[in-house]
Amino acid sequence: MIKSTVWGRHPKYTHMWVSIDGDSYNEDLGKLIYVSDRYCMSGYPAVKAVPGGNPGYKSIHRMMAETFIGTASSREVVRHLDDNSKNNTFENLLFGSKMDNAVDAGLNGKMYINPITLYHYSGCIVTCPTLQAAARYLDIDPASIHHAINHKGRLLKKSYTARRTTNESD
E-strand stretches of 10-124: 16-19, 24-26, 31-33, 46-48, 57-59, 77-80, 93-96, 116-120
User: Residues with Cβ < 8 Å from 65, sequence gap 6 or more?
Assistant: 72, 78, 93, 94, 95
Over residues 4-11, the mean pLDDT reads 85
| pLDDT digit string, tens, across residues 15-31 | 888 888 888 888 887 87
pLDDT digits (tens, 9 = 90+) for 142-158: 777 777 777 765 666 66
Structural domain spans, the chain: 7-107, 116-164
Distance of CA 57 to the CA centre of its chain: 20
Give me the pLDDT at residue 170, please.
Answer: 36
User: Distance (Å, rounded) from C-alpha 169 to C-alpha 89?
Assistant: 34
Is residue 7 helix, strand or coil? Answer: strand
pLDDT of residue 169: 42
**Phi, psi angles (nearest 5°) of residue 165:** -80, 130
Question: What value does the CA radius of gyration of the chain take, rounded to a whole number of Å?
Answer: 22
Each residue's pLDDT tens digit, 71-102: 888 888 898 888 888 788 888 899 988 878 87
148 close to 154: Cβ distance less than 8 angstroms: yes
- pTM of the prediction? 0.58
Q: What confidence score (pLDDT) does residue 1 get?
A: 42
Q: Which helix (H) or strand (E) element contains residue 71?
A: none
Q: Which fold has domain 7-107?
A: Homing Intron 3 (I-Ppo) Encoded Endonuclease; Chain A (3.90.75)
